[in-house]
Amino acid sequence: MSDVDPCRTLILAPSGRDASIAAAMLKEVGVASQVCRDVGHLSSLVGDDTCCVIVTEEALVAADLKTLSEWIGAQPAWSDLPFIVLTRRAGVADRAPEGRLATTLGNVTFIERPFHPTTFASVVGTAIRGRQRQYEARLRIEQLHEGEARLQTALTAGHLGSWDLDLSTGILTASATCKAIFGHAAHDAFTYDTLLASIHPEDRDRMQAAVKASLETRCDYTIEYRNVWPDRSVHWVDIRARFLSGDGVKPDRLVGVSSDITARKTAEDGLRRLNESLEAKVAERTAELRKTHQKVLDEIRQREQTEELLRHIQKLEMVGQLSGGIAHDFNNLLMAIIANLELARKEVLADSRMLRLIDGAFGGAQRGAALTQRLLAFARQQELKVEPVLMSSLIAGMSDLLERSIGSAIELVIETGPASPPTMLDANQVELAILNLVVNARDAMPDGGTLTISVDTAQSSGSKELRAGNYVRVTVSDTGTGMDAPTLARATEPFFTTKEIGKGTGLGLSMIHGLAHS
């Protein structure tokens, strides 16, 4: 730019030794300087990097200051170059030139000669500090311009529109991009009322509430709403605003940016509809799979139950065939024994001792015959003697036998309730079944307790093991130890018993089960 070093002071004092003395004084306080020959030389060296100019009054009085004056008038807004004019002693000459110089030079300080070096250094230091503050202002202005440029670049790249609302006047200043977001051209008038009128009626109250809350709380706000363009098309806009409080000179303002988010909202709406469609399809398919899965589980469960029932039936059938065969052969032997005992009894009617022996043998044979009948009932090979029987009367008639069977430590309670209708059954087999259940209950209460036999009516809607209809129900319950789940699951299996060896055959409940089926 020039041959002047940065922040160098220029000196113009063509008469005598004033220039060299001033330069020496500045050097002592660490200020670099350069001496100019005349006003033309000074005008060629002065620039933005000049700290200040020291000039004698006589060097300017008769000089042509046009070039220097033009440079001073053309300074940028941040610059006001300080001039220090060394004047003659007061009273020596006319003071009128000082007024002219002040008008021409602008930022000027006058020092009368002669002056003390300290005074001179102080004035120069003040001028240089003022110039340094101007440089700082220039830097801030440059940074501000750079920031504004970057902001404008960002706004342009992001398709963001900027706006500024003066809250004292209601005047809205909007950029061309902001106007375009609301469907207006850059040259169109765009007021705050225009903005409010363009907001979709369903969103206008929400937008005004957001602005009101921001003014009351002096906080930022962000909102998305629809706006209607002049061509009646609907678009989505995103508004981000900040409240700027005034300082008494400047009014309160709302400033912010706006962006068109119509494409994003359209994509979000499409994605939402797609998700809803997919979720509906998934739910429909899941429901179908759930039904299919449940159906498969039900079929598997039913198959397992059927297989288990089949295995149980096969096992019972096998045991029944075995028991039936043995019972038939044994029953034939017993019939021969009973027949011979009856014949022998007729021959010894006069011999009481022999008669007692034969009667004892006859009783044992009859008990054996009763056992074979039970085995045949289990094997379902016995012809049941079915006839109408009042269950309450049958159980009442067994009370003495049952009480003797359970002993005095156990209380027997018989609950017959209202008279039940006659039931088609084999009385002998039912008595044996009830007696078996009572004995089992007695064995489950070694320390005594209560045994209850109740009779009532029940209705079945039908199942695999019981046809639909009305039934008489006999319940035998006790206060004993009961059965755990594994024992209950096997209770009707033939030859399964929880009693010690020699104290139970394991046929009692299985025979009762066979009787019920018969």
What DSSP assignment string belongs to 157-205?
Answer: HTTEEEEEEETTT--EEE-HHHHHHTT--TTS---HHHHHHHB-HHHHH
In Å, how far from its chain's centre is CA 387?
A: 71
Domains 8-152 and 384-482 share a fold: no
Is the model more confident about 52 or about 398?
52
pLDDT at 286: 87
Mean pLDDT of the 61-84 span: 88
pLDDT band at 82 (very low <50, low <70, confident <90, very high): very high
Write down the architecture of domain 8-152 according to CATH: 3-Layer(aba) Sandwich (3.40)
Q: What is the CATH number of domain 384-482?
A: 3.30.565.10
Between 495 and 356, the higher pLDDT residue? 356
What pLDDT shows up at residue 235?
A: 93
Better-predicted residue by pLDDT, 418 or 287: 287
Q: Residue ranges per domain, the chain? A: 8-152, 158-260, 285-361, 384-482
Q: Average pLDDT of 187-198?
A: 90
**More confident call, 199 vs 325:** 199
The pLDDT mean for the chain works out to 82
Q: Please state which CATH number belongs to domain 158-260.
A: 3.30.450.20
Percent of the chain clearing pLDDT 90 (strictly above)? 14
Highest mean pLDDT among 66-75, 89-98, 311-320: 66-75
Candidate from 57-66, 377-386, 464-473 with smallest mean pLDDT = 377-386
In this predicted model, what pLDDT tens digit does every residue of 273-304 receive, in sequence order?
A: 989 888 888 888 888 888 888 889 988 988 88
Residue 390 near residue 422, CB atoms below 8 Å: yes
Q: What is the pLDDT of residues 128-157, one digit of tens each?
A: 999 999 999 988 988 888 877 776 776 666
Q: What is the pLDDT of residue 362?
A: 77
In what helix (H) or strand (E) does residue 297 lie, and over which residues does it extend? helix 262-347
The pLDDT of residue 100 is 75
**pLDDT attached to residue 3:** 41
Q: 447 burial class (0-12, 13-18, 19+ CB within 10 angstroms)?
A: exposed
Phi, psi dihedral angles at 416 (to 5 degrees)? -100, -25
User: pLDDT tier at 92 (50, 70, 90 boundaries)?
Assistant: very low
Q: Which residues pair with 173 in a beta bridge?
A: 164
What digits encode the pLDDT tens for the residues 261-276? 888 888 888 888 989 8
Compare 31 and 323 and report the one with higher pLDDT.
Answer: 31
| pLDDT for 378 | 57
Q: What is the pTM of this model?
A: 0.39
Q: Measured between alpha carbons, how far is 110 from 114 in angstroms, rounded to an integer?
A: 12
For residue range 216-248, list pLDDT tens digits in order. 888 888 999 999 999 999 999 999 888 888 766
Residues with Cβ < 8 Å from 119, sequence gap 6 or more? 111
Name the residue with higher pLDDT: 40 or 325.
40
Q: What is the mean pLDDT of residues 438-465?
A: 84
pLDDT at 507 over 80: no
Tell me the backbone φ, ψ of residue 48, rounded to 5 degrees: -65, -25
Cβ count within 10 A of residue 211: 18
> In this structure, what token pair is assigned to residue 147?
């920031």
Q: Give residue 427's pLDDT.
A: 80
CB 377 within 8 A of CB 510: no
Structure tokens at 429: 């087999």
Span between the terminal Cα atoms of the chain, in Å: 128
Exposed/middle/buried for residue 260 (C-beta within 10 Å: 0-12, 13-18, 19+): buried
